[in-house]
Structure 1
């Protein structure tokens, strides 16, 4: 999926302005608007989607996104901005479809962490491929995204077929994680009523995580150029250790069979992740650690917080509190508002003072994220501990914890 979404961000589109806004920022905003709208639509569509429709929907959405990239290449700027919006529109559904294959299993955490770790590496990898398409194959910045996507169509169809062949959750899976089923409108209302306060502040936290993670991802080239790292391999090299460490840490938590214990451990990960962002950024500004060490440590903290909210945190939440439904609703509530935050931070950066560099803006954002995240994590930790020790009423049934 990342091959159809992220390659264009490795292009700089230098000195291009339309409507008083940097052209690259307009492209990113257009794509994120499509992606965000898709997330809001997905709150209903993904939470109600049946398993029989997943494979066709996944492939159709990807092909639509690739055709939009062809339109981006053929139509001149600034009119081709529309095609980035169309590109983002179907791609916002992909994550929910893929995770629906994995949720509600004994091995959901392990599978989910592997999947999440892959997008840490994938974003950097497809940027490296995109830069090579420009440098070695001599395609311009407008054709590069479409050409890069072509390389990944056949592998995507093949691996979608393999996903479809996954066995259904077993009786043991259902006993450990609660059987998953579509969540209707009334079920969504009841779920939100039960957990409204933590869900609202988790969404706020995820808005910050998504916007800063997206900023780091979309403007990786500008940030690395400022830090004097200009080789194409830096996008992959810097992200692989992050993916491996996140995979190991969250994989260990995934091996915990007791849902409540694992759910609480995710809060420890969030707290340590925010702390590592805060400390590494401070040490970097004091010039006590190198730029690459800072990018990797802060990136590790960022993804340690970001990855759980892409499914596995909510998967354990559903199992812990015996919620009848699926994670699609929770993921898409968080994602939809998360990408709204991403749009806001892009506009803020564009209209902020010109002397505010990419690097300065990024470091300031990291401080804000770290302090806010620490407070939100502590609140949720105490809320869920208290909630677990009380009788929980869901769908008119009382479950004694």
Structure 2
């Protein structure tokens, strides 16, 4: 059956193939977030790590991000080198590992949860790269990667709202209306504790994750047209990775600096959305789905914007347009914050706009930016290497920023700290992105001239 489905997909009109691939990738990564982010819905109010000054929730967030960062460093090698035939089983194994870590998180008390959530992050950091390997190097890669990228924008808000529904008894009430086994499940579930909520959320999504990974595994091989327009995509050993990095080092350093700030900024907004909305005057009561509402608006805007980039077939024009979109996103951060401080927009609109701006700049790093860079260069390899180099640097910065907030700027509220971070991100990020754009466009012209001369 698998072979027949792949053959049918290869013969399908492009819109049908794109729809199938996007649903498969979106679904798989959406489900992954059910194992990564529900814990952020809990607040652990009044609890500290090891009896010290660091808040327990901050310690848990830092630990998971640290595990995620380590996973990105490991993924530089694993995701770049792992043969494609092993991708499906590797994805399922990583998610089962993550669910096991959430079970340990539920069973362990207080500060010991930090170790369990580290192990959770350690497995999940490689999921993105393995999913991207199915989609890169195709003529339609921008559309496919835009669809994939919208998954973590939407899913993060939804799984946190779902986590709060577990704790309030809302999910148990839903199960009570399911025929046959529903009432039995609802009776035993009830109002779930902050500790057990992440594991139960992941368990609900596990069958769907396996289904979507199977669907990804049916995607056909890349065509000759794909290879012609996007260059051959192959696994990269250590020497190839080093060659690519050193060939574009100045531009890569600028990109990594911008991404370090972007990841720290995006991660802070994501992990502390519950607290930020509360400080803005939106408590949980009466605003049960406010995070989902904001993130769906953000996802639609980002998806439409990035999907339009697929219309640019020439690699250099697409690269320039990608940088323009990213720079516009970072500039939007400062403009929307000034508007809220002036009283022109509400806190909800501000959270939506800064989400839109930050994701416009952030999402291309994990998808089309390095896809365009690989397509415009003469190097044979995989975009996943660049993606994972950026992720490793970015999540290291996220850990550092979280520690700085709680240990150095602990007197600031989460909202005041976040607003200050917004201005830093807007200024430094925009400068770095503009400079890297000039660098890579210049290099692309040089390589094109050399190719024409030879």
> What TM bracket, shorter-length normalisation?
over 0.9
2:408 maps to 1:352: yes
Paired residue for 1:200, among 250, 253, 257?
253
Q: Which one is further off, 77-86 or 59-68?
A: 77-86
Task: For 1:342 and 1:250, locate their aligned partners in 2 and report how far apart those are by CA, in whole Å.
Answer: 25
* Greater fraction of residues in helix: 2
Q: Which residue of 62, 67, 71 corresponds with 2:104?
A: 71
Is the Cα–Cα contact under 8 Å of residues 254 and 433 in structure 2 kept in the other structure?
no
**Structure 1 354/188 Cα, relative in aligned 2: closer, same or farther at 3 Å?**
closer
2:14 — aligned with what?
A: none
Give 1 or 2 for the bigger CA radius of gyration.
Answer: 2
Q: 179-188 vs 93-102, which deviates more?
A: 179-188
Q: Whole-Å Cα distance in 2 between the matches of residues 259 and 129 of structure 1?
A: 40
Distance of 2:359 and 2:382 partners within structure 1: 23
CA drift at 1:392: 6.5
* Residue 97 (structure 1) aligned with residue 123 (structure 2): no
Higher alpha-carbon deviation: 283-292 or 257-266: 283-292
1:106 equivalent in structure 2: 139
Q: Find the counterpart in structure 1 of residue 398 from structure 2.
A: 342
Two-structure CA RMSD over aligned residues (Å): 1.3
TM-score by length of 1: 0.97
**1:333-372: CA deviations, max 9, x gaps?**
0000100111011111101344311111111001000001
In 2, Cα distance between equivalents of 1:191 and 1:119? 28
2: CA distance, partners of 1:171 / 1:103: 14
Q: Is 1:35 matched with 2:35?
A: no
Which residue, 293, 298, 310 being the options, matches 1:242?
298
Larger deviation, residues 284-293 vs 360-369: 284-293
Matched, 1:399 2:430: no
2:274 equivalent to 1:221: yes
Is 1:12 matched up with 2:20? no
Is the 1:390–1:400 contact (alpha carbons within 8 Å) kept by the matching residues of 2? no
Is this contact kept in 1: 2:263–2:398, CA < 8 A?
A: yes
Q: Secondary structure at the match of 1:21?
A: coil
| Structure 1: runs of 5+ lacking an equivalent | none
Alpha-carbon offset, residue 200 of structure 1: 1.0
The one of 194, 218, 230 aligned to 1:165: 218
Shift of the alpha carbon at 1:400? 3.7
In structure 2, how many angstroms separate the alpha carbons of the residues matched to 1:372 and 1:223? 23
Residue segments in structure 2 that go unaligned for 5+ positions in a row: 1-31, 170-189
Task: Please list the CA deviations of residues 126-185 of structure 1 after superposition, one character each: whole Å capped at 9, or x if unmatched.
Answer: 001111000014010000000101110000000000000011111111111111001111
Deviation beyond 4 Å, 4+ runs, structure 1 = none
Q: Does 1:141 align with 2:197?
A: no
The match for 2:10 is none
d(CA) in 2 for partners of 1:400, 1:356: 57
Alignment of 1:326-341 (within 5 A): 326-341=382-397
1:53 to 58, 80, 86: 86
Matching residue of 1:264: 320
State the 1:329 CA deviation: 1.0
Q: How big is each residue's C-alpha offset from its partner over 1:48-88, in whole Å with a ceiling of 9 and x where there is no partner?
A: 11101101100000000001000011111112211001101
Cα distance in 2, alignment partners of residues 54 and 315 from structure 1: 19
Does 2:379 correspond to 1:323? Answer: yes
Query: 1:304-330 CA deviation, whole Å, 9 max, x = no partner?
Result: 000000021000110011321001110
CA contact (8 A) 1:209 1:302 kept: yes
Measure, in 2, the Cα distance between the counterparts of 1:140 and 1:307: 33
Asked if residue 176 in structure 1 is aligned to residue 222 in structure 2, the reply is no
Q: Equivalences for 1:151-162 in 2 at 5 Å? A: 151-162=204-215
**Counterpart residue number, 1:312:** 368
Count of matched residue pairs: 397
